[in-house]
Amino acid sequence: MTRRRRPGLAAGLAFLLAVGVAGATPSFGAVSTPPPTPVPPSGSPSPFPTALSTPKPSPSPPVLHSAAGFLEDPTTGQSLDRKAAGTPRPIASLTKIMTALTVLATTPLKRTVTVSPSAASAGGSTLGLRAGERITVRNLMYALLLQSSNDAAVALADGVAGSSTSFVAMMNRRAAALHLVGTRFASPSGLDNAGHSTARDLAALTVAAYHFRAFADIVASKSWDIPGPGHTQRHVQNRNVLLWLYPGAIGVKTGFTTPAGHCVVAMARRQGRTLLAVVLGGPTETAAFDDAAALLNFGFDEFQNVALVRRGERLGTATVGGLEIPAVAAADLVKLVRIDQVPSIKRFFTATPSLRLPVHAGQVVGEEAVWVAGRRITAVPTVTRAGAPTPPATSPGSAQTGQLQGAARLVIALLRTMFDGFL
């Protein structure tokens, strides 16, 4: 079981809102293929994959071609599969997820920025910005996240912070605030390959970005038209082919450099469930998309939500000073469990060994641990039920102290339960 600091409950609700309302409702019927899109400056079509190849459904995790991978339920942080998920690697244009988050957290989308000479001279994938051109942050964000335009990344950095150097410092401060311990950025584009992150960190970063409705809307868009100089139009197309090829796909970003390999962060929603997959270091673009799709299939096909414990359920008895105190669950406990492992679920009640009289109503008196396939995955705190026999305290002061201590222990235990990971 891994534990990772997660956003608070309010942030989790914001994520659910953003994912729930962003973009069109995904269709689960026939899917189309992405049309070739001209890539400036030569106009040659980008070689998008037109089909996915994934293994047949199996309770065993898919074998990935990519160097690293991670699959989670982003609303709870529950990890479902991983491969070298904590190993730092170059991440190419996945860097732009942090660029977008930093912009969205500091700058209105309607703001207009003036393109700097450094932005106009950016290499790699570009929108074709010209020095002195004025363009909205919103349009730069579409170029950044759909076409992965490096000139848009630099234009945003310069427009928000005055320089790429100052903007990168903002990115790294935000990474530290999100506790992305395996992450360091060196540019707003990722073209430099000097920055790095991990598959697990990128999942947490993506969840943070989805707290912004605009991010969810943009990464779910297949294309966008951006006004250019002289009343021209620049048509940008999303390079995430899963939006065309994977039923239920709603985002998010791709990236490639030779050191990083092919990288994909993918989000999909089906029948009320949302899953997030990250693959890094794919040997080919096709392999990276196949790996992302295989991870998502594994999560959707092989896991189901199981109510492991219900709030108020009688779980055991704690003996304190010769008195038997009934213990009940302090909260519901619902987790994704692999379907073939559901019959292996076991629960064990353990009373808190340090309990002393008096014991007050609602006080934490133990925990109910849940084991799946021989592994402890999580636990829920147990408390005294209303009406349970509770001997009086020896003095009013000691009763008040015991109540406060019991309330504090319950809050801590509930938070630990809510944000535990699965693996």
Whether residue 422 is predicted with pLDDT greater than 70 in this model: the reply is no
Same-domain pairing of 40 and 138: yes
Using CA atoms, how far residue 310 sits from 78, 192, 329, 332, in Å, is 19, 51, 7, 4
Whether residue 247 is predicted with pLDDT greater than 50 in this model: the reply is yes
pLDDT of amino acid 322: 86
Question: Which tens digits make up the pLDDT trace of 321-336?
Answer: 888 899 999 999 999 9
Residue 1 domain-assigned (yes or no): no
Distance, CA of 21 to chain centre: 17
Q: How confident is the prediction for the chain on average, in pLDDT?
A: 86
Residue 2 domain-assigned (yes or no): no
Question: Is 93 an annotated catalytic residue?
Answer: yes
Distance, CA of 147 to chain centre: 22
- Residues forming beta bridges with residue 348, ordered by sequence position: 369
Pick the catalytic residue: 79, 83, 96, 125?
A: 96
Question: Which tens digits make up the pLDDT trace of 397-418?
Answer: 444 444 555 555 555 555 555 5
**Residue 168 belongs to domain spanning:** 9-302
Same-domain pairing of 178 and 248: yes
Cα(267)–Cα(379) distance, integer angstroms: 28
CATH code for position 334: 2.60.410.10
Q: With 0-12 CB in 10 A as exposed, 13-18 as middle and 19+ as buried, what is 350? A: middle
Cα(194)–Cα(176) distance, integer angstroms: 18
Considering the entire predicted model, what is its pTM?
A: 0.83
Same-domain pairing of 264 and 346: no
Residue 166 domain-assigned (yes or no): yes
Whether residue 273 is predicted with pLDDT greater than 60 in this model: the reply is yes
Q: With 0-12 CB in 10 A as exposed, 13-18 as middle and 19+ as buried, what is 271? A: exposed
Same-domain pairing of 177 and 324: no
Same-domain pairing of 274 and 404: no
pLDDT of amino acid 385: 73
Which amino acid belongs to residue 86?
Answer: G
Same-domain pairing of 25 and 80: yes
Same-domain pairing of 263 and 384: no
Domain boundary among 244, 279, 302: 302
Domain boundary among 255, 276, 302: 302
Same-domain pairing of 101 and 220: yes
Cα(11)–Cα(346) distance, integer angstroms: 32
Domain boundary among 274, 302, 330: 302
Same-domain pairing of 352 and 264: no
Cα(270)–Cα(100) distance, integer angstroms: 26
Same-domain pairing of 354 and 227: no
Question: Which tens digits make up the pLDDT trace of 150-183?
Answer: 999 999 999 999 999 999 999 999 999 999 999 9
Residue 257 domain-assigned (yes or no): yes
pLDDT of amino acid 360: 87
Residue 162 domain-assigned (yes or no): yes
Pick the catalytic residue: 93, 116, 164, 197?
A: 93
pLDDT of amino acid 36: 60
Question: Which tens digits make up the pLDDT trace of 119-159?
Answer: 999 999 999 999 999 999 999 999 999 999 999 999 999 99
Could you give the number of structural domains in the chain?
Answer: 2
Same-domain pairing of 71 and 136: yes
CATH code for position 214: 3.40.710.10
Mean local confidence (pLDDT), 351-380: 92
Question: Which tens digits make up the pLDDT trace of 184-234?
Answer: 999 999 999 999 999 999 999 999 999 999 999 999 999 999 999 888 899
Whether residue 43 is predicted with pLDDT greater than 50 in this model: the reply is no
Pick the catalytic residue: 116, 125, 148, 164?
A: 148
Q: Which of 110-114, 123-127, 299-303 has the lowest mean pLDDT?
A: 123-127
Using CA atoms, how far residue 193 sits from 95, 101, 163, 371, in Å, is 10, 20, 19, 42
Percent of the chain with pLDDT over 90: 72
Same-domain pairing of 21 and 136: yes
* Structure confidence at residue 354 as a pLDDT band (50, 70, 90): confident
Alpha helices, DSSP H, located in 189-274: 199-209, 213-219, 242-245
Cα(301)–Cα(338) distance, integer angstroms: 9
Mean local confidence (pLDDT), 47-57: 88
